[in-house]
Structure 1
């Protein structure tokens, strides 16, 4: 069995089921074709209707065993993006207080490591699906997964998931104080007019009380790096264009909350830091606007 076949599909099925159910509140850059109807028996729709019933929905006992041993899969789903707990809680820059950026040499190493992990994820997933070839423009637009999701959306999720372990290992080595977060979630507080970090417990509370729609309008950058006081100093977002010849660009939101906002502009406004795009072909590209 291909090595990534053991580590990724379980979480990928979870994310796809969330996508089809409308649960990826900030991830509206992902396009979904069609709806999950009551007669649709694809694994994603089955999991939506029967949470946790891996064997029933996939026919795979291996997935059941993987689910029992996989580290924090349930937390990954419920938290919808919050990974490990860090000692420092993210603090957003203001006119009065700004964080201290990483030293230039360290930042260069961090940028290089992130780009390498993104390229590795691209290569490994293409190896797994296409024997090392890149998907064509036509294939990217075709529907995958029970005619519910395009190949572009499917591969984008798959490659993100494949990148996390590499990123965690690289950043742990470069940032020994672990002052970073992978896919943290932030929400705008309408009463105070400020953005706030939603930790795992806050996300769980919102979802339990309001459902996944309670997270609509929140944002989820892929990587956030903090300084020693917890201020956000660097923000990265991973893009896996399909086909790979496409230029990586910021998506424009379609939901009413941030309609027509550029993802990069919103991240900059919300977090007070100019975000960087990362793609396999272009590496780390700073936002120039």
Structure 2
């Protein structure tokens, strides 16, 4: 049995290699794939981030596992490819300032079958600091993603402590998968119902042992600090709930305010 580390990172590397071959003609250089829990970010690209003892330098593509279970497999794969386009632009194009999505990037996304959109839905702006995307029906990305999901059968491991809300903007998904599913011969097949679930169901519905949202919400509320105000001096301090605090200046008790 493969170790959890090996199987999880092998999945990410297999996805990168698959999309590099099918969408970028194998032109993208290898990069270092990492898992980072950066708040409100489902993934990012960082150029020239890693080096080894021989002086070789590689780029980094990071994904945030805390958001995986709130999205479906298509969206996870969209995130990887979105960052791969940043990789392509750094190597072969002219990127703008850090984090900005310019016209060249948007055109490349469009070319490979991902429509850039500031809202993640039709009609959004194609360029800007924060830009999401959605698959073009029957486009190159959609075909490549379905082929990869058929072959890989979904993520091997998922973070049980999933984020309470989805990352960034929503993304439009095409649910008419039955109409143009590629049924070309493959060594291993899965039924259409399972494929539909892998494509479009939130990953949380495919794993049975995730920590319940209610438990996560309770833990999040416990982390919220309360504000206390001295009734006489009007000075403020912050701490956990239900503390009994006296002011060092006047001796008056601090009054706890309810968390907003």
TM-score by length of 2: 0.25
Higher relative contact order (CA 8 A, sep 6+): 1
**Structure with higher helix content:** 1
Question: Which protein has the larger Cα radius of gyration, Structure 1 or Structure 2?
Answer: 2
